Structure 1
């Protein structure tokens, strides 16, 4: 088990290898959370895929993370539930998830040394909506644009987009609305 405990972030993170029973329970819990969101929004539940993170640029990186900052623009009513991390890169040292001023920093380097290379976060899964930033950092001195790690979790998208909210109609001419019957009083 690996712990991250830092004063400049919001939470401590405990990673477990996939082989631990607690890891299986954490994944089941995250799946139940994702199912509940899917039920609430009438949505489809999928595993996180490159198109969910990168949008139109998904083919460029595939299941690897771009180094630096990634901006994830989730569609209206979509939800991202993250329960763990895959790391096959011994130089990938940390990933930050940033949303609404909250920072979740995961030191993921030790996961590269687990036999299955999967670390499961033992706390509540992270749930993101709207705009999310992912900062990816490596200690490698090589010039490269990506690292071989990937967040694990679920993406929930509504089957139908939410209805567009239209502003109330204003009366023509800018005056007060007309009375019934259109006559004078």
Structure 2
């Protein structure tokens, strides 16, 4: 796992690649692409934490057909040592402490961007001994959601008269 500072050419290329991937997902679902915001991570509790990460485990319930594409991390907290992204049986652990010492405090993930759907868990760990409930770091990437929620799939309806037994001896037919 490698993070590069923003001033490296490879970092710029990695961000462009992540953006192109996010654009492709948005095109496929007819959706909107926007930077990851607190409401995408915390839902209705977004105002409580803002652009900081709650320590411990965060459960992110993505709306149907939505996608998150991560390309990097912002870290302004020298005690924030790692974050772990978990989906299904895949675990990605990012050691983010060194990013706090980069000039821009932004690290760009050099490998393929991480892509998540449905439910995502984020484990946030700090080495601070103080009683704190958050770390001053934030995942960088894109949130893609459909402009209209996917329609519920309903079972096909039976044509009239099919499926019900006919009564014998009915008059007037």
Both proteins in one fold, TM over 0.5:
yes
In structure 2, the partner of 1:138 is 126
Q: Which runs of 4+ in 1 moved over 6 A?
A: none
Partner Cα distance (1:178, 1:57) in 2: 50
> What does residue range 20-169 of structure 1 map to in structure 2 within 5 Å?
20-168=8-156
| TM-score (norm. length: structure 2) | 0.92
1:168 Cα offset (Å) = 4.4
1:169 Cα offset (Å) = 5.0
Partner Cα distance (1:168, 1:68) in 2: 45
Structure 1: runs of 5 or more not aligned: 1-12
| TM-score (norm. length: structure 1) | 0.86
Paired residues, what number? 167
Structure 2: runs of 5 or more not aligned: 169-173
Larger Rg: 2
Partner Cα distance (1:33, 1:69) in 2: 27
* In the alignment, structure 1 residue 177 sits paired with structure 2 residue 154: no
Query: Secondary structure at the residue paired with 2:2?
Result: strand
Query: Secondary structure at the residue paired with 2:150?
Result: coil
Query: Secondary structure at the residue paired with 1:123?
Result: coil
1:167 Cα offset (Å) = 3.4
Partner Cα distance (1:63, 1:170) in 2: 51
